[in-house]
Each structure stands twice: as C-alpha cells, then as structure tokens.
C-alpha cells in the first residue's frame, strides 16, 4: 500500500474552488487513487477515483499528473456543507482500504 501525505487542515471561503493535494511517491503500477469525504459521526462517502490524467464527476474533479506521484482533488464553488474531512487513498483495486490522516476542510461563510 502506497503511503499518502495530505495537508492536515485547510480553510476556504464559500464560493471558492478548493484544491487538496495528496502526495503518493511510492504509488505502484496497479494502484488507483480514491478520495472519500467524511462528515462528523458518519461513515466515509466515496467522492471520486482515478488512475491517470483527469477525472470529473458531478461533485469533484481529480487531477493526476503523468508521474502519478501526486493527485489533486478539486471542489468547485464550495459551500458550508462541504466542511468535512477528505481522505486520499491509494491502492490496488483488490486491496483493503487503509486511511491516512486526511485533510480537515473548513468552509468559512
């Protein structure tokens, strides 16, 4: 399992675009990059997953450079309800999920 490093916390104002970067220098060829969101006292919720380049869905975009040693989760026009902890996970699709420290995102009105 590749180790991941994320900022411990971030603050942003409502309406801004938020980018959270995750470093995973030891990512393996078969590893995918997956982001989860967790609100207090709730289980994590899948946000997005990618292997390379860019992936976009209805809630976020995921940017992965060619060397895949990092990835950036982009949340467009955040609102107060986006305040949560965001986890970056890297692993083979058959592996168990191991969570790192995550990034605590606080949206300021």
Partner 1 sequence: GAVVSQHPSRVICKSGTSVKIECRSLDFQATTMFWYRQFPKQSLMLMATSNEGSKATYEQGVEKDKFLINHASLTLSTLTVTSAHPEDSSFYICSATVGRGVDEAFFGQGTRLTVV
Please give the residue ranges that form the binding site for partner 1 (CB under 8 A). 32, 34, 41-46, 49, 87, 89, 91-102
Give yes or no for a contact between 70 and 57, defined as CB atoms under 8 angstroms apart: no
Minimum CB separation from partner 1 for residue 13, in Å?
24
Give yes or no for a contact between 11 and 109, defined as CB atoms under 8 angstroms apart: no
Residue placing its CB nearer to partner 1 in the complex, 32 or 63: 32
Give yes or no for a contact between 48 and 37, defined as CB atoms under 8 angstroms apart: no
Residue placing its CB nearer to partner 1 in the complex, 43 or 109: 43
Minimum CB separation from partner 1 for residue 84, in Å?
13
In sign, the C-alpha dihedral spanning 81, 99, 68, 91 is negative
Minimum CB separation from partner 1 for residue 73, in Å?
14
Minimum CB separation from partner 1 for residue 15, in Å?
27
Residue placing its CB nearer to partner 1 in the complex, 17 or 97: 97
Q: Cα(16)–Cα(87) distance, rounded to whole angstroms? A: 20
Between β-strands 84-92 and 103-108, what pairing exists: parallel, antiparallel or unpaired? antiparallel
Residue placing its CB nearer to partner 1 in the complex, 13 or 56: 56
């Amino acid at each position: 399992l590749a180790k991941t490093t994320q900022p411990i916390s971030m603050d942003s104002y409502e309406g801004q675009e938020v980018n959270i970067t995750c470093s995973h220098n030891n990512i393996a060829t078969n590893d995918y990059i997956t982001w989860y969101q967790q609100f207090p006292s709730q289980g994590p919720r899948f946000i997005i997953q990618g292997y390379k380049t860019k992936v976009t869905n209805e809630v976020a975009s995921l940017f992965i450079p060619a060397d895949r040693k990092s990835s950036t989760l982009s949340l467009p026009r955040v609102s107060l309800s986006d305040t949560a902890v965001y986890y970056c996970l890297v692993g083979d699709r058959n592996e168990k999920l191991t969570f790192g420290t995550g990034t605590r995102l606080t949206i300021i009105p």
